[in-house]
Amino acid sequence: MLSPKAQCSLADAKRYFGEHLAVGEYYMQGQQLRGQWYGKGAADLGLSGVANVEQFGRLCDNLHPQTGQRLTMRQKTTRSNVDADGAEHERANRRVFYDFTISPPKSVSIAALVGNDRRIVEAHERAVTMALEQLQSFASTRVRKDGQCTDRTTGNIVAATFRHDTSRALDPHLHTHCIVFNATYDAVEGRWKALQNHDMLVAQKFVENVFYHELARSLQEFGYEVGSRNVGDFQISGISKELRDLFSKRHRQIDEKTRELLACQPEKADDNIAAIREHIAHKERDRKIPEIGLSRLQAHWDGQMTLDQRNSLRNLIHAQPTSREDAKMVAGRAVAWAEEHLFDRRSVVNEHELWRHALGCARGQNVTLKDIQAVTSKRDYIRDVKHVGKVTTCEHLQREWEIPELRTCKKSSDAVSMSLRWRMRSKALSRIAAVQRRWVGPVLSGAIASMTS
């Protein structure tokens, strides 16, 4: 799962490093696992290797981590609002950073930590790196010059990653916090600017599927059997729901708090329950317990399991990995499935949506994201330069245009959407006309010549 959360409080952001990120790493027998700098932007700022609290704090203050000079233009961190009663309240005015948390399914955490398979932890870290590489490619910044009101892709982030191995309830919970600071380098303007994360959030499910696919591939190479699911997460076969629930105490705590809140405030039952749960998760949590070695944790976990559950963990790896299909064949079939799935509902889609669903279709199989992107790059899609990443086909665009109701725009948002479709339809018709001239022209010329001879 990939879950983002914006941190707007400067004071909380600075406490974040010491209280939540630099403690609670238990895997190495009580030795803290240090956070690591990540991203092209971080490299441009001279950041690499272990993240330290001084550099982290300077970035929270919107300062260059090496020189201490201001990094981006916005410096005012608070603003004052007046409510209906005339009372003045001070609120955050700048996002300090975004916390993108990446976590595998519960069964993976159990196999890695309770089952003590170090290979899975390493596979998790590799999959996180590949997911962040894709997330970074969607980084952008706002352009508000010369009457422009748009976003420009920068493709660089300043981030620090911190791996955790347990939940607040000391259950096995492998996950990585990727702290993405609110800064990105705009090469066109030659300066650091605030990060625009809109495209990163739109591509969230694609990035999540990159993580799932790479992790599932590694698990199958290790000999684990992965349950097949095209949408959402997956589970390792052989780890029962009862065992997953046993080590999901934190999840049950949040469920209980949510039920209590809704019982006291039933009017919130129609609100976004996921947002309510997230708020409770961050508000109602115990402090982390530092310096607990893996041996103590494993004894703690082992004491909660039955004999049958312990035996099931020892017998998870059933066989060595079998031979795989040719990657090009798998990629072609997966992309064809994604096209059918998406274009059946919409005529214009983001190309990363095709990649996402193709990865879901081929989850864990002998195919990489590059294999899938190679297939879509050779497809005869129609692309629009004003909306980079949007694709369609002649067939699906023409089919939509034949629906009379779609020719009438009732809202401004409809007009923008139809403007995009009109340009892409014009491209489609021009392409069809070019093909017709290339093939029909010589045929007609030959027919005319035979008639006049």
For 357-375, what is each residue's pLDDT tens digit? 999 999 989 899 999 999 9
Q: What pTM did the predictor assign?
A: 0.80
In Å, what is the CA distance from 254 to each residue of 175, 265, 274, 401?
A: 18, 16, 11, 48
In Å, what is the CA distance from 364 to each residue of 111, 117, 355, 440?
A: 17, 19, 14, 46
Flag whether 320 is in a domain: no
Between residues 130 and 401, the one the model is more confident about: 130
**Nearest alpha-carbon partner for 107 in 259, 216, 222, 253:** 216
Task: Determine the pLDDT at residue 436.
Answer: 45
Task: Determine the pLDDT at residue 181.
Answer: 97
Shared domain check, 374 and 283: no
Shared domain check, 248 and 283: yes
15: number of CA atoms within 13 Å, CB side?
Answer: 8
User: What is the total count of domains within the chain?
Assistant: 2
Q: 84-87 long-range contacts, Cβ below 8 Å, gap at least 24? A: none
Which of the 8 DSSP states describes residue 269? G
Flag whether 171 is in a domain: yes
Flag whether 442 is in a domain: no
Shared domain check, 341 and 296: no
> Tens digit of pLDDT for each residue in 70-127?
999 876 555 545 455 555 555 556 899 999 999 999 999 999 999 999 999 999 999 9
Domain ends where: 246, 280, 314? Answer: 314
Work out the mean pLDDT of the chain and round it to a whole number: 81
Shared domain check, 298 and 427: no
Domain ends where: 314, 348, 371? Answer: 314
Which residues form the domain of 22?
Answer: 2-77+90-202+236-314
Look up residue 155 and give its two tokens. 């493709």
Give 73-109 as a DSSP string: S----EEEEE-TTS-EEEEE-S--EEEEEE---HHHH
Task: Determine the pLDDT at residue 296.
Answer: 85
Flag whether 83 is in a domain: no
Shared domain check, 346 and 404: yes
